[in-house]
Amino acid sequence: MRRRLRAPVVLVLLLWMLVSACSSDDPTGLAGEPTDTILEQTRTAAKNATSVHITGTWVTQKVEYQIDMRIKADGASGEIVSTGTRVQLLRVGVDLFVRGDESLYQPRDGRQDPDAVASAEVLRDKFIKVPPDDPAFARLSGFTQLHPLLDELFRLEGKVKKDGRKNVRGVETLALAANKGRGGELYVSLGGKPYPMRYSPGPNAGRLDFYEYDTDFPVEVPRGDQVVDYGSLNPAQPPAPGTDAHQSPPPSSSPTGGSSGSPSGSKSPSGQPTSTRSS
């Protein structure tokens, strides 16, 4: 009798262990909720985040941008690289500083511009404090704004369905795909808070990872000898980075801005989540 019972008991134990292992990947049970509920909880978690680290690539107007930014409510620090130009962004409170090498200030059409060469000599490797009323401020500052960037993750276009699980930087996530991925993909953490962990606006449009949530980091105003106020330069003000008529502007720093170069691919960024339909 005991021998006959041993096999069923072992089978029950194995099944219990299997169920326990599967459920441990989703302790919150979020994966079993409707997609509307998952999106709402993810949106709430993102809204309450105090900081995040964002890395990845973004493609807009056939130009690829490599992004590595740490962002929190009262500051940001990081860089954006595109077409051989590296731009360092630093926001301390409401003040935005930009630093780049000489290529940032050179005309992109290959022409020789003595004024640009002179400006580059003065400005290279220096932080430029960008005036709030300058057009460049609106484009660049959005890359340093925490919640406008996170809000952009919910621009999923089309019917949203669950699309399996994926490990993103060591975190078990649930994939949500809009229009079979053509309308965007969002990966939501299944461990702890349902933070968005990865987002792609669509095929060939790049991908961004989001991690180190709620991790503080220092931001400090650069030393005086590291800063150039380009509004005080003479005889003429150099062009704001990315605003010269001969340069290709960077993607709008702000997903909430109205520029067609905003990092939302072909989507028209409004700063408000687009309506989605769930399965």
List the chain residues with pLDDT less than 50: 1, 5, 10-23, 234-279
Distance separating alpha carbons of residues 13 and 5, to the nearest angstrom: 13
Residue 113, classed as helix, strand or coil, is coil
Dihedral (Cα; 120, 122, 128, 133), 10-degree rounding: -80
Question: Is residue 91 a contact partner of residue 76, using CB atoms and an 8 Å limit?
Answer: yes
Position 278 scores a pLDDT of 41
DSSP E strands, the chain: 51-60, 63-72, 75-82, 85-92, 95-100, 127-130, 159-168, 171-178, 185-189, 196-200, 206-211, 227-228, 277-278
Residue 19: partners with Cβ closer than 8 Å, 6 or more residues away: none
Position 173 scores a pLDDT of 96
Position 100 scores a pLDDT of 84
The candidate with the shortest Cα–Cα distance to 211, out of 229, 187, 176, 183, is: 187
Position 262 scores a pLDDT of 32
Tally of CB atoms within 10 A around 7: 9
Residue 176: partners with Cβ closer than 8 Å, 6 or more residues away: 35, 38, 39, 156, 160, 161, 162, 163, 185, 186, 187, 188
The candidate with the shortest Cα–Cα distance to 55, out of 207, 179, 233, is: 207
- Report field, pTM of the whole predicted structure over 0.85: no
Amino acid at 155: R
Position 270 scores a pLDDT of 30
Position 122 scores a pLDDT of 72
Distance separating alpha carbons of residues 159 and 184, to the nearest angstrom: 10
